[in-house]
Amino acid sequence: MENGEIPENANEHCPGPQSDSAGKSDACEGCPNQEACATAPKGPDPDLVAIAERMATVKHKILVLSGKGGVGKSTFSAQLSFALAAKDFQVGLLDIDICGPSIPKMLGLEGQDIHQSNLGWSPVYVESNLGVMSIGFMLPDPDEAVIWRGPRKNGLIKQFLKDVYWGELDFLVVDAPPGTSDEHISIVQFLQATGIDGAIIVTTPQQVSLIDVRKEVSFCKKVGVPVLGVVENMSGLCQPLKDFRFLKATENGKHTDLTEKVIEYLREKAPEMLDLVAATEVFDSSGGGAAKMCTEMGVPFLGKVPLDPQLCKAAEEGKSCFAEMKCLTSAAALKNIVEKLMTNYWLEEMHVEQ
């Protein structure tokens, strides 16, 4: 328990040896460290001082959260980082999804290693102004499961914050795991004294996702983290008509591919149709989607991003959706959201950029 560290054999919801309730709370029952924690001297965590010193060179800190997994939170974190870096800002992307680190894949950094210098751990760089840190760089086998209890996860998050040398950053984007678990409490506690700009919450349109997003908004309000806005991701499938496949269903449940015939017919009879973008709802949004929820909960709605196969492909390849003209629908939507964030919260940075 040196420097107030939570021991690895602690119970899952350990309050920490420096907490006033250490060794006394219900979470401490049966813990092998209970007596030691209850009698240990209490005081400020010296690691928080080290974190504050590291974060002193970071202007803006953004948490990216989601109520559920699988809503595209990490995709949004990656593309937000690409977008900010494209504006010539110095950007860091910190992946604290300890059990499901997908950021190395989405930034095209699989197989990279972390290096140490006399200044601390060095981020892995996509470009000179976009650095990344993730547990994914530390795993010898990418297929290996990370089976850690809360205290060990929290210890690594603390180590990322106090030991990684980012240098001067305009933005630090923190990609958190879904839900409101130990990792979320830890990142807020560790960063709160250094100033958190706020959280961006990512959801999909249907109620089964929005139910959990409401809990995420409630969490932010309880811990004092401003909600910068909510993004409705996968808001309808949207892609050029010519990129669709056209199938004819048969009685036995099989399909006959008529794509070539349909495209050829359109090319001959109605060529202008091939320039259209087709859209359809994938998730039920009859309940009003994220926009209605934002109105009810009094938080900003940042916009909708369609489900775009080209964006999915960019994420798989670790590329920016803004670099090429392939992500026609999603890139425009993401750009509008980034511009809204800049205008609403970081207008002074836009003036510096200009």
Distances (CA, A) of 186 to 16, 233, 352: 11, 26, 33
How far apart are alpha carbons 275 and 79 in whole angstroms?
26
136 labelled ligand-binding? no
19 labelled ligand-binding? no
CB 204 within 8 A of CB 117: no
CB 305 within 8 A of CB 76: yes
Nearest residue to 337 via CA among 296, 290, 293, 297: 290
How far apart are alpha carbons 221 and 200 in whole angstroms?
13
Distances (CA, A) of 345 to 157, 234, 253, 261: 26, 25, 53, 51
How far apart are alpha carbons 282 and 288 in whole angstroms?
14
SS3 content of the chain, % helix, strand, coil (to 5): 40, 20, 35
215 labelled ligand-binding? no
What ranges make up the beta strands (E) of 19-146?
A: 58-66, 91-95, 115-117, 120-122, 124-127, 130-134
153 labelled ligand-binding? no
Residues shown for the chain: 354
Q: Largest Cα–Cα distance of the chain, in whole Å? A: 84
14 labelled ligand-binding? yes
How far apart are alpha carbons 127 and 238 in whole angstroms?
30
71 labelled ligand-binding? yes
How far apart are alpha carbons 171 and 82 in whole angstroms?
11
117 labelled ligand-binding? no
72 labelled ligand-binding? yes
335 labelled ligand-binding? no
67 labelled ligand-binding? yes
How is residue 182 written in tokens?
A: 């130990």
The annotated binding site for [4Fe-4S] cluster is made up of 14, 28, 31, 37
The annotated binding site for ATP is made up of 67-74
The annotated binding site is made up of 14, 28, 31, 37, 67-74
